A and B are shown apart, each in its own frame.
Chain A
Amino acid sequence: MEKYECTACGYLYDPGVGDPENGIAPGTAFEDLPEDWVCPQCGVGKEFFQKI
């Protein structure tokens, strides 16, 4: 599964790790994140993320 980076702040979304603090289990693909998921580091939405 592909990793995505926040272009606003550099946060890296790694599907292997997920975002457990915000209820996202390890193994969740970026595409399957809920639409209202925001970058845990700065709070921008998914459209700021770029596949790396």
Chain B
Amino acid sequence: MKIVIIGNGLAGTLAAKALREEDKQAEIEIYAEEKYLYYPRPNLIEFISGSLPHDRLFAFPERWYGQQRIDVRLATPVRRVLPDARQVETTDGQRVAYDALLLANGASSFIPPIRGADKKGVFSLRTLDHALDILERLRDHARAAVIGGGLLGLEVARALKSRGAEVEVVEALPYLLPRQLDPRGGAILKTEMEKRGIRVRVGVATEEILGDDEARGIRFKTGDEIAAETIIIAAGVRPNLKLAQETGLPTDRGVLVNEHLETNKEGIFAAGDGVQYKGLVYGIIPASFEQARTAAANILGHKVKYEGTVPSITLKVVGIHLTSIGQVNPDGREFEELRFERPEEGVYKKVVLKDGAAVGAIWLGTKSGVNGITRAVVQKANIDKWKNELFSETFDFSLL
């Protein structure tokens, strides 16, 4: 059996690892667009901040791939899939036959239509090459701005700051982390970021990146301007859909798969940031990981179901603890929201209930109880009778 994987990000690489654990015989080949072996993308943040050296970026050493007989072809992207012939074609014209194919070609940064976004000094951050370009620019352009106050935007801002840059984050929506927080939580987080020397503006839509060929600042729709020569756009990601579409696979916002992570073409599976499952495109590691393992099992013929993933994130900004899990901004009368705050200490907690069961939570500014509440949300535990004690620092979550 020959298995071809497109993409050597987390999904492609960890699917290969799972395949090899189960099947010592199969031929496993990965075709990769990037010229580097697999590195976890969160490492790029630490690389930019200066705390992780280049040689420690990679998850597995080169010899590991040899030992595992996982054949990775770097800088050899696939340009076409020929499903009837069960072949892929690389950009250098080779045709490679497969018995099973895994699309793990992921997602790319989304660049909104901002005038001047193509100027020198404007970047996005998805790959190691992007990180290298940013560091190069930063050496003599240390005034930086980050467009987008989501998770990636805040973490990049902190990393740039650690490198010695002056940083301002600008967010178009009225509060930070619009997907993981609510307005009150966002406001408390803004103060915490500012305490750490990172300027934050919310509710400002970018109209234009100023400068001749090189970026020198941002103008907002309000007419206000700020100065910055290094600008990072962190406005979310979009699945890489071209290959799937040209292969005739059904797509919507992502590649559509069934609960076995199989597309509508026999033998073609998909996993990771490019996938849409039951209406959701997750874009996070835990989901990509579970999909990769489930797809691997199904490729080998074990009918294993993907059950979906409860989204959970932790912000990695030194000194700020934030976990957001499940539905935190519910819409509808069947939901109940409980809140607790101590803004002077940067603490904000919120739990969302549906019929007495925990379905979402925000835990900002404190670590105690975070695992308990995470577990409660994952298990949709009934917390109705603990409403009054839940936010106490000493609440015993094992009662749930």
Contact = CB atoms under 8 A, between A and B. Distances in A.
Interface of A: 5, 7-10, 21, 38-39, 41-45, 47-48, 50, 52
A10 B42 CA distance: 13
Interface of B: 10, 13-14, 21, 38-40, 42-43, 46, 51-52, 56, 59-60, 284-286, 289, 312, 314, 316, 367, 370-371
13 contacts: A8-B42, A10-B312, A10-B314, A21-B21, A39-B40, A41-B285, A42-B10, A42-B42, A42-B59, A43-B10, A43-B13, A45-B43, A45-B52
Given A44-B40, A48-B42, A52-B371, A9 B59 contact: no
Contacts of B60: 38, 43
A17 B135 CA distance: 40
A8 B316 contact: yes
Listed residue (A8, A47, A52) with the most chain B CB atoms within 10 angstroms of its CB:
A8
Contacts of B314: 5, 7-8, 10
Given A5-B314, A43-B13, A43-B38, 10 more contacts: A9-B285, A9-B286, A38-B59, A38-B60, A41-B286, A42-B40, A42-B59, A43-B59, A44-B42, A47-B46
Contacts of A47: 46, 51-52
B159 to A, nearest CB: 14
A45 B45 CA distance: 13
A52 B285 contact: no
B56 A43 contact: no
Contacts of A50: 367
A42 B371 contact: no
Contacts of A41: 14, 285-286, 289
A43 B371 contact: no
Contacts of A43: 10, 13-14, 38-40, 59-60
B12 to A, nearest CB: 12
Nearest to A51: B367
A5 B367 CA distance: 12
B371 A10 contact: no
B106 to A, nearest CB: 14
B316 A7 contact: yes
A44 B51 CA distance: 13
A41 B56 CA distance: 17
Listed residue (B21, B43, B312) with the most chain A CB atoms within 10 angstroms of its CB:
B43
A47 B286 CA distance: 19
Listed residue (B21, B39, B42, B312) with the most chain A CB atoms within 10 angstroms of its CB:
B42
Sort A-B residue pairs by CB-CB distance and give the 7 closest, nearest first: A43-B59, A9-B285, A8-B42, A43-B40, A44-B40, A7-B314, A42-B285
Nearest to A3: B371
A21 B316 CA distance: 27
A43 B40 CA distance: 6
Nearest to B43: A44
B346 to A, nearest CB: 17
A44 to B, nearest CB: 5
Contacts of B21: 21
